[in-house]
Each structure stands twice: as C-alpha cells, then as structure tokens.
Structure 1
C-alpha cells in the first residue's frame, strides 16, 4: 500500500482551483458535444427563464441546465418523468467542483428515430403509388351503415357518435373496438378493418383515435395497416389525432379528417339540407298541380267552344265532358297521391331528425290546398253545366221540332223536297205534311193565291 508523500516530496502539489481547472479542461476537450437520453427529474423553471433539472436512468444521474435562449425552441413542455434526448456539452463548474450538462437542443425521447422511420415509410409508399388520387374511392353521400374502428373507451368514439346524432341520426353506427396504441395495436386495427371490409355490410369505415405524441400515434404508421387500407373495397376515412397530426393512414385512406368529429361531419348529410329538399319538392308539386289545372281548364274551354247546335252533338259533347272531368279528377288524384307518398316517405325519414313538425305543417297546407282545389273544380264544373243547360234550352227554341210543336207543319213533295211556293205543286199531286207528332199524306184538290 502506497503511503502519502511527505511535505518534502518532489511530486507537484495542486491547489483545489488548479485541480478543478485541469478537470474542466480535460472534460470539455474530450467531450465537446454529445447526445444524451434520460428521464427528467427535479425540473425547476427559474424566473429568469432558465431550466434546471437532472437527467437520470436506473443507475445514475447528472445535473443539467438549459438557458432561456435555447429552451424557447423546444416544441413541447417537458415535465418530471419525461424521457428526452438532448444535445449538450459537458461543463465543469470549478468553484463548486460540479459537473453538469449545458443543453443546446431537446426533443422527446425516441421521437427522432420514429420521425425518420415515418418519413422513410411515407416516401416508400408514395413511390409505390398508394397515395395517388386515382385510387381514392368516392365517399357515399348518405351512408346508411358506418363502421367505427377505434378505442371503445376513448373520447374519439364519443365525438363521432355525438356528431352523427346531431347531423343525421338515421345512420346506423357499428363500433369495432380496437387497441390504438402500444404493442399489438396495429395488428388489432388491421384485423378489425379487414373484418369490416370483408363483411360488405358497411357503406363507409372510420378508423382513427384522439391526439397524442408521435409515439402514441405510431400504430397508425404501420406498413401492413396502410396496405390493408389500400386493399379495402369500402371507402375509408382516416381520423387520427388533431388537425396538425398526420399519420400514414391519412395518406392511404380515401379521405383524411382533421379530427374524429370532422370524420363524422364528412360522412353525415346535414338535416337542414334535407329540409330544403322537402321544401323544394313541395314547391314543385304545387307548381305542377297549378300547371296541370290550367292545361285542363284550357282544354275544357276548347271543348266547350266546339259544341254545336244539334242535340246529338250536344249529347256527345256532354258525355265527353263528363269523361274528361272524371279523367281529370282521377289523374289529379293519382298525381296528388303519388306526390303525397313521396312527401310521406321523406317525412318518415326526417321524423327522427327533428323536422316532423315542419313536415306536418306542410302536409296540413297541402290538405288545405287540395280542399280549395276540389271546391274550385266543383264550382267551375257546376257553372259549365248550368251554361250547357242554358244552351240546350236556347237550341230548343230554334229547333225545327220545337217550331212544329207550336202548331206549324212542313210540307214536302213526293221527292221529299220542301214545298215553299204554290208553284212547286199542281192539282192532284200527292204531298206529305209533317207535324210534331207524325205526318199526313194529302192530295191537292185546289190551288189558290
């Protein structure tokens, strides 16, 4: 065992400050800039803006300082227990004999490697054409059945359900619960996706989760999951994280939603738009009925004007008028019934979307208009019938048969020519005298002025 030197030894003697200076020079010269990964402990944010903390692992720790001019560039707010990777230089503070790290940059632990892997996979799949717009399938306008692949306990599924109930509650939602982070999450997501797609039951599929760090969202950057989305026959909407988050599934899917709520809004039609469609159909129905009524009125007027004086012609026109009236009423009732069925069908579909009251009002208005139309048609037809009867009475006044009934007669010769003058016949000729209730055959005995 080597003993201490005596005061008279020839070995050099260092003062404490000289020794610390030597240590400082050796450390800073041999370790200029290094990358260190560890867990933050005892973090203190000084009033000056500087950060002081320790980096530790399961066997050791070292004190660190990150000054205000550097820590303002950190993209997240670190806290005790966070795993971080820092770029720093080793410094030695001589007055206290302390060794520490002076930190230049900081990022979440593992994020750099994950980001590099993300960019590498993104470039590979893009080069293969998996992101091309020509492969994107159109989304359904009004999907009846939608599958939701996400965590059953997360906020994302609640946001999607609330959005669908608010916008279009008729959509049938099926939740396929899955892990969304951690070991086995990517495989679980892929199996649920293949299960939903192969069933052929769904019009669209939403796959996603709420926000988080790159490591939390890493399951959605899985290559096998991306290729499974590309192979799906069902339209896929990817809704991963927040608006600033992008995952590989966002690029491969047929549509990318900034948030889970946005995914529901993309797939659900707005009930207000459907209400506008009902209003438009109702307006068109009223216009078509008005046009049809005007056409039939014009046709009725035309037929009325074509009536002639002979009783047979008038009778035929009366029968035709009655037939047209019946056909008009039947056609109008069929048309009205068809449009009412359309309105009733839309009313049933929109009843659960809180527009039943509006449809009931429209139906009441339609019923009132129908009653008004019935009254108008009846009044119009009755007026025409009264006019028709008046015309018949006038015709009776000028009809030859009517004249005969008042005591007049018509004389004709043997050739049935009407005798208008005494010069048309001679004595001993036979003539026929027509009365209102029969005819007489007569011989001419004498002709006088």
Structure 2
C-alpha cells in the first residue's frame, strides 16, 4: 500500500505545528534573554551559553530523524517533542524569575529548561519536516516550505506582538503567566493540527517490515555524499550569519535606542513580519516554478544572503547614528531578506533530502538540522561574546553592536559564495511521490 501525498490542507495543518513551535521559541530565545541582560543585568555570555546549550542538545537531530524513519508513524514523535518543548518553555520563564532572588538556583533550573527546549525542538521539528519531505510531491515542495515557515513566523510575530503588549507593565510574575499561557496554547494547537493527518490506511506496510539500517551506517553514507557535505557546510555558515543578532537585537534596542521590554519585543515582531513577507514572495513564486526550481531556488538563496548582508551593514550604521535613525524599517528589511533566504534554503533542503540512497530523508534532514543547530548556537554565542568584548574595548555600546553586525554581514557574503557552488541534483526529480521512505528534518 503506497502513501498518499499530502494535499494543501494537510500541509497547512502541519504548518500549525511550526506556528506552535515558533510561539514558544520566540519567548525563550528572545524575550527571556533581553530580561536577563537588561532587567537582571546578567552578562550576555551567560545568556548566550544557555541558548548555545539548547542548540548543542539538538545535535541529537540525526538520531531523532533515524528513529522516526524506522517507526510506523511520525506524529507521536511530533507530539512528544512539543510536549517537552512546552514544559521547557514554562520552566525557562520561571527560572528567569527565580534568578532575581537566587541566581544560582535560577541558572541551574534554566540549564534544565533549555535542555528540554533543545530536545523538544529537535524531536518535533525534525520529525515534522521529515514527514513533509516524504509526503509532499516535488512540484509542491517550494510552496510547502514557504507555507510551513510562514506559519512558524506568523506564530513568532503574533506571539511577539501580543506577548509584548501583555508584558507591559513588566513584572516577573507577569512574565511567568504569559509564558505558561503561550506554552499550553501551543501544545493544544499541535494536538489539533496532527489529529488524523497520519491515517493508518496511508502507512506504507512494506516499509515497516523492511530491515532497519544501523544509525552509524546511515550517517556515514549520508556524509559520504559530496552534495550533502557541501550543503551541510552552507547550512552551518549561513546559520551562524543568520543567528548572530538573535541574542543582541533586543538588548541593542534597549541599550542604544532606549526601548522598554515591551517595545523591543514588538520590534522583534516587526522583524518577523518582514521575514513573513519575504517568505510569501519566494513561496508564491516557487509554486509557479514547481519541480524545475532547484537552480531557481539557488538564485533566491543568493539574493537573500546578499540582501541580508546589506541590511546588516545598514544596521551597523544605525548603531553609530543612534535614536535618530529609523530603526524599525531597517529591522524590517533585515527580516525580509532573511525570509527570502530561509524559504529558498529550506526548499532546496527538501529537494535534496530525497536524492540520497535508499530511505534517507530523515537522516539527511537530521544532519542538516544538526548543522543548523550548531550554526545557531555558535552564532548566538559569537554575537553575545563579541558584544561583551566590544563594550570593554570601545567603552560604548554603539561601536560594539556595530562591529558584530558588520561581521555578521561578511558571513552572509561567504554563505552566498558557498551557495553558488551547490549545483542541481544529478538526476531530475520525479513527479511521483517516493513510497519507500519515512524520514526527518530539522
């Protein structure tokens, strides 16, 4: 019995899982970090270490992907991962509140919370994207990548805007309540989204009785593919560039532009609104190009990298000018080009996932997801450490932030060079859905 391809409704429903995931992550990796750094006056390197740790935990993504490949269904992995993520989000907010009275206890609880967040994102996100890579026809992959990521950014943007308004006037108790409401809502949304999507009648029977490939064998075979290795390097470098501003943008808004926690959180919503628009643009165009679009997606990836580099250089100028600079349009432009880059890269990832030998979608998605996690963790840590060093060297906040933004722009240029070397798959993609594969992505 062959698997039935996902229709647009099924793709949109799975996109709701990304919405739920984004709504939790935006509070834990953005708002909580701003509160720790500005309200609690903790060093940026501590905050970066916590977020870097949650990305380090995501090095388990290939294992999650391989495990999901060998199972009969993926939805239990998605639900279980989201449950762990939601609990981690609640614990992280309460740990931050505890830090104000007992820093050591609060930090220890935060380490546990960010471990749960990393494991939850890895299990749910990898299994979800593997499901999409397996069950979406090649002609719909660019649009599917856009839909799912647009819905994730919508979750981030809406949560940032609504939670930002609810956080003012700010208090630690209010922070804990808002985080709990968001986490519970995200988990319930996930349950509703996946209910009935993976029907028993659509499961590939032969697949569940086939001999299972050892994890290390599958991993070695994946890394032996030159195309997969090159794409892994691209993901690593581009994610460092993409994430270096994540932990410092809201503190930058507070320290250089004098914004309140609510205002800086709302600014983050504006940035993600730009990401949303960029994704919509690429996704709509990708739907018209269809399965012929590997080279086309590479072109959009280059445009996204170049535009992001230009926006970051503009942000470096804004750091020097200060409050008189129109910071909101600048941040929106950065988000827009980040969105263009993200959807084009994810679309390429979904197309390349099915090019490996045998049932390898999950393990390939897991490897790229692990590279993405390392890039995010290294980027966030690098950005925070560079700001700390810069603030000591220059004795002013503006120069420190401007330096990091400029270095981040240079990494996007390097990413564009690597992306230009990634060619189309050796064989033309089939318009028929593969039926012997169950796999995972980040």
TM range (shorter): under 0.3
Which structure: larger Rg?
1
**TM-score, length-scaled by structure 1:** 0.20
The structure where helix makes up a greater share of residues is 2
Higher percent of residues as strand? 1
The TM-score with structure 2 as length reference comes to 0.21
Name which structure has the greater RCO, CA cutoff 8 Å, separation 6+. Answer: 2
